[in-house]
Chains A and B, each alone.
Chain A
Amino acid sequence: MSDLLRILENEVQIAALVFLAVVYTTRLIWLFRFRTRKERTIAAGRASAGAGYSLMNVAMPWAMESTRKRPGLYAQFVFFHLGVATAITATFIIPYAPGLFKVRAVVFLFQIVIAAAFLVGLLRLVRRLTNPVLRQISSPDDYFSLILLVLWFAAGMLAVPNEPERTEWPLILFFGLTAFFLVYVPFSKICHYLYYPFTRFYLGRSLGHRGAFPPAGTKRPEARRAGENQA
């Protein structure tokens, strides 16, 4: 293994991760500087149940018309993000638990999942380029982030066999892109996952308080009527 790859897999990754953590912390502090408004009404439902339901939305494609009517897009979402999680896992396995990738079945599994994400990434790119709605709203960042991820998936597929003695360049590409990502993510749309818990929590809490989340049938009957549950 070359020095370049060794440094890339270790020191560079750690430095990039630390940078990511610092920027995220700054971002969260920034977010928490915005005020929230005090809820002054008597509840018709439970805010906590609403927040929980809202946060689970990601795993409930039937909960929204938009995903219910577009199961294909939901499936794409699942495969794409599974691929992301898998590829991130690979960036830790290769330097810290390389033994795992000596098992051919594990390598194959990782390659399949990342390949699926790669294909979905291409589909998403085509959709973004051809769908007039998406074209109208897409920014350079939207395209760049997606293209970068597609490349990263491709590099990931080639890198997971982890055979630097045969050829190093897939690993160099994969870890180089990873490091770049870690630095770029906080400034791009990719960091949406950082916001997801917040948007869904605040929306769910507010709608839960009003008894709109979770939908009827799953909430406690005694909390049904507006203001009736006053002590």
Chain B
Amino acid sequence: MKRRKTTPSGVVEAPLDPRTQVRAKEEGLPSVNEGRLRTYEPGDNVRRFLGLLSSRITRSLAVSLTACVHCGLCAESCHYFLARPDDPTMTPVWKADQIRKIFKRHVDWTGRVAPWWVKAGGPRDDEDLNRLKNIVFGSCSACRRCTYNCPMGVDTGLLVRFTRGLLTELGIVPEGVFNVSRDQWETGNQMAVTETDYLETLEWMRDEVRTELGTDAIDIPVDRQGADILYTINPREIKFDPRSIAHAAKIFHTAGESWTLPNWGWDQTNFGLFSGDDKLGAYVARNVYEAAERLRTKRIVISECGHGYRSTRWEGYTWAGYDQKLPTESVVVTLKRYLEDGRIAVDRTRNTEPVTFHDSCNIARSGDLVEEPRDVLRRVCTDFREMFPNRRENFCCTGGGGLLSMAEYRPLRLEVAKIKADQLRATGAELVCTMCHNCVDGLNDVIKHYKLPMRVVQVLELVSNALVVPGTNERTKHRL
């Protein structure tokens, strides 16, 4: 047997930075005082971690923890490993084994009797838990590509989220994750947008669209009782990029849609998905469901957001223990319906640049939409081309799993983004379209870092651009 070669490990050594946690405690935030938002306390974290571990395991987790045969087939499904092929610590199986070995040592039988025989063990102290944090938050975007490639059906994506959830409960989380969770707990939206700011921005966009279309008939309604559609958005749209709200308003108006945004419960994003905190997940999702109930709308529509779609359409109902009553759909599905039913007319020659589509992990692999965005793009663009691999086999934008909010892992993220960059470059497209705000930023980072001649767009923007508004059928009119 050859001597074991020491291989470099890409696992980032980021210490726990509890500064904002300390500040949150000092400020006496209600979410901290009431124990909803957990902060780091030195002490018996290992014991608490193990207690949480054994109390939270579900059957599907238990089988994913026991069934791995160490075949290694998952390795090449992961963009981290593909970009760092000499680094075994980048494989899904190694990352999952870090929680698996704890499970084996403390819950499973062989590991409890003979830990060395099955490599069971740990964690010994907070240092080990912090290292685990760097693995499950820092070297995995929880894209679930490995889940789809495991012969045994082991759901490593699920294991990573589960582990994140245990660490979140101990405050052993990246600072960015803590900050965003804090804002979502405290303000109901992940960017701490105030009600005034929210309403003012909506009015502003309403005025912009009125000017563009030259009509005062257009509105961006808030809290309109009995509207058909409850439209929910990403706080990023309010705070930094409200163009997409204007696009949606323009299209809804043209389609003659009866719609409203809620005054409360408008944030469809959900950091509970990324932090693994089901309680936060339940709180945010329930806000949306209750807004729809309060306003007696017939449908919930989610703006273009991958993790928001997965959280609000799928996971949120389970987290919140809330039986789904209303159809809950992505705005892309709404757009598809408008196009099919002839409720809006489009001129696809207004989008002539070559466009490719990037599937968001949370929508394609953990959700149900792969053909819908393509149907829409083929109707509003003249040159749509696939990237390869695509659909459920697409690679992550590299910013998934909340990684965009964790600056400490950015160098590794951009290094392994080489896979994504090659994939994008090969399409020869000038535009890459995605139905996820997170992917927009992730892809923008990849494009900037690897100097690709591309621009990121979203489905709403392309549809809005191709939209033929009766009476204002001039291209120069489209400003937004």
Interface membership of chain B positions 351-395, coded 1 if the CB is closer than 8 angstroms to chain A and 0 otherwise: 000000000000011111111100000000000000001011100
**A195: chain B residues within 8 A (beta carbon):** 63, 66-67, 152
**Is there an interface contact between A37 and B58, defined as CB atoms closer than 8 Å?**
yes
Complex Cα distance A31/B153, Å? 16
**A54: chain B residues within 8 A (beta carbon):** 153
**Is there an interface contact between B318 and A41, defined as CB atoms closer than 8 Å?**
yes
User: Which listed residue, B5, B148, B330, B393, touches A132 by the CB 8 Å rule?
Assistant: B5
Q: Which of A48-76 contact B (CB under 8 A)?
A: 54, 57-58, 64-67, 69-70, 73
**A215: chain B residues within 8 A (beta carbon):** 391-392
Q: A90 → chain B, closest Cβ, in Å?
A: 24
Which residue of chain A lies nearest to B90 when distances are taken between CB atoms in the complex? A133
Q: B355 → chain A, closest Cβ, in Å?
A: 20
Footprint of A on B, CB under 8 Å?
1-2, 4-5, 7, 57-64, 66-70, 72-77, 81, 86, 88-89, 91, 93-94, 97, 109-110, 116-119, 147-155, 299, 313-314, 317-318, 321-324, 326-330, 333, 364-372, 389, 391-393
**B371: chain A residues within 8 A (beta carbon):** 216
**Is there an interface contact between A188 and B110, defined as CB atoms closer than 8 Å?**
yes
A2 contacts the other chain (CB 8 A): no
**B328: chain A residues within 8 A (beta carbon):** 41-42, 226-227
Complex Cα distance A144/B313, Å? 46
**A136: chain B residues within 8 A (beta carbon):** 7, 88-89, 91, 94
Interface stretch, picked from A10-18, A148-156, A172-180, A200-208, is A200-208
User: Which listed residue, A34, A41, A45, A212, touches B57 by the CB 8 Å rule?
Assistant: A34
Q: Which of A184-198 contact B (CB under 8 A)?
A: 187-189, 192, 195-196, 198
Which residue of chain A lies nearest to B7 when distances are taken between CB atoms in the complex? A132
**Is there an interface contact between B153 and A200, defined as CB atoms closer than 8 Å?**
yes
User: Which listed residue, A42, A131, A134, A206, touches B327 by the CB 8 Å rule?
Assistant: A42
Q: Which of A9-45 contact B (CB under 8 A)?
A: 31-32, 34-42, 44-45
**A89: chain B residues within 8 A (beta carbon):** none
**Is there an interface contact between B389 and A65, defined as CB atoms closer than 8 Å?**
yes
Which residue of chain B lies nearest to A43 when distances are taken between CB atoms in the complex? B368
A102 contacts the other chain (CB 8 A): no
Complex Cα distance A73/B76, Å? 13
Which residue of chain A lies nearest to B309 when distances are taken between CB atoms in the complex? A226
**Is there an interface contact between B117 and A130, defined as CB atoms closer than 8 Å?**
no
Query: Known contacts A133-B91, A210-B314, A225-B333: does B63 contact A65 (CB below 8 Å)?
Result: no
**Is there an interface contact between B313 and A226, defined as CB atoms closer than 8 Å?**
yes
Query: Known contacts A41-B324, A133-B75, A136-B94: does B59 contact A202 (CB below 8 Å)?
Result: yes
User: Which listed residue, B153, B299, B364, touches A204 by the CB 8 Å rule?
Assistant: B153
**A189: chain B residues within 8 A (beta carbon):** 69-70, 118
User: Which listed residue, B313, B327, B370, touches A230 by the CB 8 Å rule?
Assistant: B327
**Is there an interface contact between B62 and A227, defined as CB atoms closer than 8 Å?**
no
**B59: chain A residues within 8 A (beta carbon):** 31-32, 34-36, 198, 202
30 A-B pairs (CB sep. < 8 Å): A34-B57, A41-B313, A41-B314, A42-B327, A57-B151, A64-B151, A65-B149, A73-B73, A77-B151, A129-B1, A132-B5, A133-B91, A133-B93, A136-B88, A137-B70, A139-B117, A192-B67, A192-B152, A199-B64, A199-B153, A202-B59, A202-B153, A203-B155, A210-B314, A212-B365, A225-B329, A226-B328, A226-B329, A227-B324, A230-B327
**Is there an interface contact between B117 and A140, defined as CB atoms closer than 8 Å?**
yes
A168 contacts the other chain (CB 8 A): no
Complex Cα distance A212/B152, Å? 17
Q: A49 → chain B, closest Cβ, in Å?
A: 13
